[in-house]
Amino acid sequence: MSEEVLHAVAHQTDPDTETLSAEAAAAEAAAAALLESREILPTIEPIEKVPVDLKASELYINRELSHLQFNVRVLEQALDEGHPLLERLMFLLIFSSNLDEFFEIRVAEQLRQLKYGREDVGPDAMHPQKVLEKIREICEINVDRQYKILNEIMFPALEVQGIRFVRRGLWTPEQRAWVKDFFEEKIVPVISPIGLDPSHPFPRLINKSLNFIVQLEGKDAFGRETGLAIIPAPRSLPRLIRLPDELCEGGDNLIFLSSIIHEFADELFPGMKVKGCYQFRITRNADLSFDFEEIEDLARTLRGELHSRKYGDAVRLEVDQRTPEELIAFLMEEFNLNDSQVYRVNGPVNLNRLMAVRDLVERPNLRWKPFTPGLPGKLKTDKDIFSILRKNDQLLLHPFQSFTPVIDLLRQAAKDPDVIAIKQTLYRTGVKSDIVNSLVEAARNGKEVTVVIELRARFDEESNLQLASRLQEAGCLVVYGVVGYKTHAKMMLIIRREGNNLVRYCHLGTGNYHSGTARLYTDYSYMTCDQDVGEDVHKVFQQLTGMGKIQKLKKLYNAPFTLHARMLELIQNEIRHVQAGRKGYIAIKVNGLTEPRLIRALYEASQAGVEIDLIIRGMCRLRPGLPEISETIRVRSIIGRFLEHTRVYYFANDGEPLVYCSSADWMERNMLNRVETGFQLTGKNAERIKNELDYYLRDNCQAWALHSDGSYTLLQPQEGEERFSAQHALMEEFATL
């Protein structure tokens, strides 16, 4: 950074936007009081600070643009020939799914701010209008790339493997006859074309649904001559249909629903001529907002809001690039959009629905090789998990190690006559999961079962409402946490009578209680019967289900009370080590780093000479490698077969490491506006965590290095250097291939 830029940074007007709610501010003050007795080192006179304003906007990357860059890194996986072909296709489609959510939530929020004149700039000081312009620029380039990859790389490569997406111009007469029968038998009975006229206004179309706009010529039976119609594709219909093998010359032959509707659209308008039929798709604001002061029953309020999600304000229009401009203009007017919100694409507008190819094509040679998650020796030989935990804590790393012991712990608790109570948090789990089945069984067996369900887990709200009903019907006590604070902590507490004592067994995790995602996401599970940990978990549950002042915990840290303050304290502790002439080192692995005060603390640590490695999967506002500000900070993002989801905090502490796992990312929402837990690991478990962090820091083929300008570069082995993938190494270490 030049002296001129440094001078400008130093004199930048403070864009501090970290105003806390009264509740969060009170929590922070209470946390500071609780932590006063936990100083690790005596205070040392601070070193002379570099005269740079660490709140200056130039030092921060915009959150939304950083989020978008993560999606671009996902798209890049479609070009990685080291991945199996169908998995590369999945990455291409996941990019679409991620982009949908990005527009539904993040873009919608920027538009909402502009609409109501409530522009809320972050520490980067970028105005929402500028953010939207940059989003458009990045999306336009990468959506175009996505369709080029699909049309010019993926489809040809799949065809070489005998997987064909058969265009209607290539149907044989026999295939066309079969498709026509399919259209008349399966599509016509459920489809409802809508001719536009004064008595048939433009329909209210559901968020992300596939639709067609049709140009018509002629008059219908009533003498109407409007010229336009809309065909909504029913969601009950598959978007991909497999042609019968006997009609094809080998391989797997698939056709798009859109191709069928295009081909036979004229049959939906008898006696009229279809001049053109063009697919389009609208994305709407899908965020749910509440006035918490007005809520009396959260579940009832949520049920009422879920329906509106399908019909929020339009934020994006995707159209076939062949659509005439006058029709695009018509759609823009109907949805109150401008041209910057329109994406003209060369292919299906609903790409993520192509994921159905996984169920239609059996090609194990084009998928990831299956593996069997490993188990620690004691969990293999001894089925009594309670006796195992009385002797040793158990630390598991999913998906390389099995999630089954966590389920088995709850299953045993449900059946064990000595277990008297179970407490559990659920964020995303599914209505019919093994975890839920065991909770239901436990309640029916007469145990006291308390479940804290976070109803507002985004896009899982409906599932969680059903889950709550099922548990309540079984006799569980169900609560919804604390209004205004999402319960994101992953905790299970089992109280068991052993002789004259009540013994607490706990599970704490970095991920959700979902056996499906435990095969796809990397997460830590920690099982223990440490009674101090059990007492702490009990106190957190009391805070969630009852009321009372902040309680002092012995071994856990929890948001929104002590976790944030503890992280700031530990960063300062590393600074003190450096000031005292010792080495300082921090390694953090989380999904997002956006909280400004934590970023400033890391900048201060770097200025003091602390070495810092950050493994941030997604959003990262911090700029590494800035001279005199973040020279000792390195940031990387790992993208691979599994979604990196572990949250690990490592502080070297002059040779006596302090190691934590947590449910919390280093983001404002996690540290200040959610209920989260952080738990310390010691001894061999702490050593193991550090070794596994080192794997990710050694990765030279799935790691993307962040530069100070916000761009990323995929790391590659240097000449003579052996290729190393952290995920592959962990699989080889723990799983059976």
pLDDT at 598: 98
Q: Look at residue 462 in the predicted model and tell me its pLDDT.
A: 77
pLDDT at 192 > cutoff 60: yes
Mean pLDDT of 179-206: 89
For residues 514 and 599, membership in a common domain is answered with no
Separation of alpha carbons 506 and 561, rounded Å: 21
The binding site for Mg(2+) comprises 428, 458
Residue pair 736/374 in contact by the 8 Å Cβ criterion: yes
CB-based burial label for 701 (10 Å; 0-12, 13-18, 19+): middle
pLDDT tier, 308 (very low <50, low <70, confident <90, very high otherwise): low
Q: Which two tokens stand for residue 188?
A: 């016509």
| Average pLDDT value over all residues in the chain | 89
- Residue 367 located in a structural domain: no
Structure confidence at residue 32 (pLDDT): 52
Quote the CA–CA distance of 86 and 678 in Å, as a whole number. Answer: 38
Q: Please tell me whether residues 544 and 647 are part of one structural domain.
A: no
Q: How many CB atoms lie within 10 A of CB 324?
A: 14
Same structural domain for residues 200 and 328? Answer: yes
Residue 292 clears pLDDT 50, i.e. is over it: no
Helix axes 22-35 and 563-579, enclosed angle (nearest 10): 50
108 in a structural domain: no
Q: Are residues 596 and 525 in the same domain?
A: no
pLDDT given for residue 39 in this prediction: 43
Confidence band, pLDDT 50/70/90 cuts, at residue 155: very high
Q: Band of the pLDDT at 286, cuts 50, 70, 90?
A: confident
For position 8, what pLDDT does the model report? Answer: 34
Give me the pLDDT at residue 25, please. Answer: 56
Q: How far apart are CA 669 and CA 675, in angstroms?
A: 10
Looking at the structure, tell me whether residues 325 and 259 fall in a common domain.
Answer: yes
Catalytic residues: 488
Cα separation, 15 vs 104, whole angstroms: 27
Q: Strands, DSSP E only, in 403-470?
A: 419-426, 448-453
Structure confidence at residue 200 as a pLDDT band (50, 70, 90): confident
Q: What integer is the mean pLDDT of 227-237?
A: 92
Q: How confident is the model at residue 304 (pLDDT cuts 50, 70, 90)?
A: low
User: Would you place residue 44 in the very low, low, confident or very high pLDDT band (cuts 50, 70, 90)?
Assistant: very low
The 10s digit of each residue's pLDDT in 319-360 is 999 999 999 999 999 999 999 999 999 999 999 989 999 889
What whole-number percentage of the chain has pLDDT above 70? 88
Residue ranges of the annotated binding site for ATP are 98, 521, 617, 645
By three-state DSSP, how is residue 659 classified? strand
Domain of residue 216, CATH code: 3.30.1840.10
Residues within the annotated binding site? Answer: 98, 428, 458, 521, 617, 645
pLDDT at 406 over 90: yes
Spatial distance between the Cα atoms of 186 and 180, rounded to a whole number of angstroms: 10
- At residue 702, the 3 state secondary structure works out as coil
Residues 542, 562: one domain? Answer: no
| Averaged pLDDT, 95-124 | 91
Instruction: Please give the share of the chain, as a percent, with pLDDT higher than 90.
Output: 75
Check which CATH number belongs to the domain holding 513 and give it: 3.30.870.10
Q: Answer whether 727's CB lies under 8 Å from 87's CB.
A: no
For 443-486, the pLDDT digits (tens) are 999 999 999 988 776 767 778 788 888 899 999 999 987 878 88
Structure tokens at 288: 């749910």
Instruction: Fill in the amino acid letter for 664.
Output: A
The residue behind tokens 């079984």 is 474
- Based on the fold, state whether residues 596 and 619 are members of the same structural domain: yes
- Short-list 480, 544, 497, CA closest to 677: 544
Residue 198 confidence class, pLDDT cut points 50, 70, 90:
low
- Do 404 and 503 share a domain, yes or no? yes
Per-residue confidence band for 37, with pLDDT thresholds at 50, 70 and 90: very low
Q: Which residues partner with 643 through β-bridges?
A: 521
- Cα separations (Å) of 621 from 6, 588, 591, 595? 19, 14, 12, 8
Instruction: Tell me: do 391 and 467 sit in the same domain.
Output: yes
Could you report the per-residue pLDDT of 710-735, keeping only the tens digit for each? Answer: 999 999 999 999 999 999 999 999 99
Closest CA to 396 of 689, 653, 592, 677: 689
Same domain assignment for residues 442 and 467: yes
Asked if the structure places residue 487 within a domain, the reply is yes
62 within some domain: no
Instruction: List pLDDT tens digits, range 617-627.
Output: 999 999 999 99
Residue 112, classified by CB atoms within 10 Å of its CB into exposed (0-12), middle (13-18) or buried (19+), is: middle
User: What CA–CA distance (Å, rounded) separates 501 from 514?
Assistant: 32
Q: Is residue 145 in some structural domain? A: no
Which residues, other chains included, contact 517 with Cβ-Cβ below 8 Å and sequence gap of 6+? 428, 511
Q: How confident is the model at residue 297 (pLDDT cuts 50, 70, 90)?
A: low
pLDDT score of 237 more than 80 = yes
**Which residues, 6 or more positions from 682, have their beta carbon under 8 angstroms from its beta carbon?**
659
* Strand positions, DSSP E, 84-179: 163-165
Domain boundary among 502, 528, 551: 551
Could you tell me the residue range of the domain that residue 474 belongs to? Answer: 377-551
Q: What are the tens digits of pLDDT across the range 555-594?
A: 999 999 999 999 999 999 999 999 999 999 999 999 999 9
Q: Look up residue 432 and give its two tokens.
A: 């019919």
Q: What is the mean pLDDT of residues 668-695?
A: 96
Tell which of 508, 523, 551 closes a domain.
Answer: 551
> Looking at 492, 523, 551, which one is the last position of a domain?
551
Cα–Cα distance measured from residue 372 to residue 257, given in angstroms and rounded to the nearest whole number = 37
Determine the pLDDT at residue 223. Answer: 63
**Number of residues assigned to the chain:** 737
Q: What is the pLDDT of residue 18?
A: 40
Nearest residue to 97 via CA among 353, 282, 463, 430: 353
Give the residue, 616 or 551, on which the prediction is more confident. 616
CB 706 within 8 A of CB 519: no
Q: Is residue 150 part of a domain?
A: no
More confident of the two residues 332 and 287: 332
Query: How many structural domains comprise the chain?
Result: 3
Note whether residue 577 is domain-resident.
yes
- The secondary structure element, H or E, covering residue 608 is helix 596-608
Both tokens of 480, joined, read 């919804």
430 shares a domain with 331? no
Same domain for 638 and 539: no
Residue 175 within any structural domain of the chain: no
- Give phi and psi for 166, each to the nearest 5: -80, 115
